[in-house]
Amino acid sequence: MSDIQVRPLEVQDFFTVARMLGKVTKGARMQLASALTGKKVNHTEVGMVVFQSIFTEAEKDLKAWLASLIGKEVEEFDKMPATAVLEVIDQLAAKEDIRDFFVKASELASRLSSKG
């Protein structure tokens, strides 16, 4: 069993994710919305869609956010085993309120990107 523990999401996380989603393409945001709109959410799929959507355009931001979720600095996070990334994503995706969190963050990112 892993000793990695993802902290509860906070207000700042909402803005961090919205900023990262604002950097990704509209198609990637639509893919995320699609993964979140089913009656039964596949947590692993949600985690991987978020990761894939953000990774390409906002790798540094994503890495910093994932590190903050487990109370690490980016430099510490970089030195952890590669499986740590998947563990953080799995734990994050399993959170009960994750669907609403990402839907709202994606909506905010879409609004902000359409104004700019």
Instruction: Summarize pLDDT for 46-101 with one digit per residue, the tens.
Output: 666 767 778 877 889 999 999 999 999 999 999 999 999 989 988 887 887 777 77
- Domain edges within the chain: 11-111
pLDDT of res. 84? 94
CB 4 within 8 A of CB 88: yes
* Number of separate helices (H) and strands (E) present in the chain: 6, 0
Q: How far apart are CA 94 and CA 91, in angstroms?
A: 5
Q: What is the pTM of this model?
A: 0.74
Share above pLDDT 90 across residues of the chain, in percent, rounded to a whole number: 32
| Terminal alpha carbon distance of the chain | 45
The DSSP output letter for 9 is P
